[in-house]
Amino acid sequence: MKTLLQVLFSVLIISNISAQDILFSDDFESGTPSGEWGLFWADEEGVTAVDMTTVPEILGSGGDYAGLVQDMDGSYTGASMAIAGTESDQNYTIEADVYCYVNNAMGSAYTGIVAYADSSVNYYVKLVADFDGDNRFRLYNNVLGPDWQYSFHHAIDATGLYDSDGWHSMALSVETLGDGTVSYTAYFDGQYLAGPFIDDSEGHTTSGRYGIFSFQMSGTGLPGYFDNVIVSAESDILLGDLNNDGGVDVLDVVIMVDIILGGTTADDYQMIAGDLNSDGAIDVLDVVGLVDIILDSAPPRSLNMNDASIQYGSGLLTLTADADIAGIELNVTGDYTITGNNLPSGWQIHNNDHKILIFDMNRTNATQTVQINYDGEINLNKAIVADWFGNGVHPNLTSASQFTLNAAYPNPFNPSTSISYSLTDNNQVRVEIYNINGKLVETLVNEYQTAGLHQIMWNAAGQSSGVYFIKVTAQNLSKMQKVVYIK
The CATH number of whichever domain residue 253 belongs to comes to 1.10.1330.10
Neighbours of 161 (CB within 10 A): 17
Q: For the stretch 431-450, what's the b/e string if a residue is b when 16 or more beta carbons lie within 10 angstroms of its beta carbon?
A: bbbbbeeeeeeeebbeeebe
The torsion angles phi and psi of 294, rounded to 5 degrees, stand at -65, -45
**Final residue before a domain boundary, out of 275, 295, 315:** 295
Among candidate residues 390, 351, 348, 385, the one with its CA nearest the CA of residue 365 = 348
- What's the whole-number mean pLDDT along residues 365-381? 90
pLDDT above 60 (res 2): no
Q: Specify whether 69 is located in the same domain as 168.
A: yes
Q: Which residue has the higher pLDDT, 147 or 281?
A: 281
Q: In sequence order, what are the residues at sequence separation of 6 or more whose Cβ sits closer than 8 angstroms to the Cβ of residue 419?
A: 405, 406, 408, 431, 444, 455, 456, 457, 458, 470, 472
Q: Specify whether 409 is located in the same domain as 474.
A: yes
In this prediction, residue 214 has a pLDDT band, given cuts at 50, 70 and 90, of very high
Q: Which residue has the higher pLDDT, 15 or 366?
A: 366
Does residue 461 sit within a domain? yes
CB-based contact 154:185 (threshold 8 Å): no
Q: Hey, is 32 helix, strand or coil?
A: coil
The pLDDT of residue 19 is 65
**Final residue before a domain boundary, out of 295, 317, 342:** 295
Q: Specify whether 230 is located in the same domain as 267.
A: no
The CATH number of whichever domain residue 82 belongs to comes to 2.60.120.560
Does residue 425 sit within a domain? yes
- What's the whole-number mean pLDDT along residues 301-315? 84
The CATH number of whichever domain residue 422 belongs to comes to 2.60.40.1930
Question: How far apart, in whole angstroms, are the C-alpha atoms of residue 399 and residue 424?
Answer: 9
Instruction: Look at 103-112, 133-142, 477-486 and tell me which has the smallest mean pLDDT.
Output: 103-112
pLDDT above 90 (res 452): no
The pLDDT of residue 110 is 93
Q: Specify whether 31 is located in the same domain as 165.
A: yes
Count of residues making up the chain: 487
Number of domains in the chain: 3
- What's the whole-number mean pLDDT along residues 254-266? 95
- What's the whole-number mean pLDDT along residues 448-475? 92
The pLDDT of residue 423 is 83
The pLDDT of residue 39 is 95
Question: How far apart, in whole angstroms, are the C-alpha atoms of residue 236 and residue 54?
Answer: 42
The helix or strand, by DSSP H or E, that contains position 396, with its residue range, turns out to be strand 396-399
Does residue 243 sit within a domain? yes
Does residue 457 sit within a domain? yes
The pLDDT of residue 8 is 40
pLDDT above 90 (res 407): no
Instruction: Look at 7-11, 62-66, 90-94, 427-431 and tell me which has the smallest mean pLDDT.
Output: 7-11
The pLDDT of residue 6 is 40
Instruction: Quick: pLDDT tens for 311-330.
Output: 888 788 889 898 999 999 99
Question: How far apart, in whole angstroms, are the C-alpha atoms of residue 49 and residue 68?
Answer: 6
Interior CA angle at 169 toward 168 and 175, to 5°? 145
Q: Specify whether 191 is located in the same domain as 291.
A: no
Does residue 75 sit within a domain? yes
Question: How far apart, in whole angstroms, are the C-alpha atoms of residue 49 and residue 26?
Answer: 10
- Average pLDDT in the chain: 90
Instruction: Quick: pLDDT tens for 218-227.
Output: 888 999 999 9
Q: Specify whether 81 is located in the same domain as 94.
A: yes
Q: Specify whether 249 is located in the same domain as 178.
A: no
pLDDT > 70 in the chain, percent: 94
The pLDDT of residue 106 is 77
pLDDT above 80 (res 379): yes
Q: Specify whether 75 is located in the same domain as 146.
A: yes
CB-based contact 334:399 (threshold 8 Å): no
The pLDDT of residue 401 is 66
Question: How far apart, in whole angstroms, are the C-alpha atoms of residue 127 and residue 96?
Answer: 11
pLDDT above 70 (res 13): no
Q: Specify whether 244 is located in the same domain as 170.
A: no
Does residue 175 sit within a domain? yes
Q: Specify whether 226 is located in the same domain as 252.
A: no
Q: Which residue has the higher pLDDT, 22 or 444?
A: 444
Q: Specify whether 95 is located in the same domain as 194.
A: yes
pLDDT above 60 (res 9): no
Does residue 6 sit within a domain? yes
pTM (predicted TM-score): 0.55
In this prediction, residue 299 has a pLDDT band, given cuts at 50, 70 and 90, of low
Residue type, 105: A
Structural domain that includes position 412: 400-487
Q: Specify whether 72 is located in the same domain as 97.
A: yes
Residue type, 259: I
The torsion angles phi and psi of 2, rounded to 5 degrees, stand at -60, -50
**Final residue before a domain boundary, out of 215, 235, 255:** 235
Q: For the stretch 28-43, what's the b/e string if a residue is b when 16 or more beta carbons lie within 10 angstroms of its beta carbon?
A: beeeebbeebbbbeee
Does residue 388 sit within a domain? no
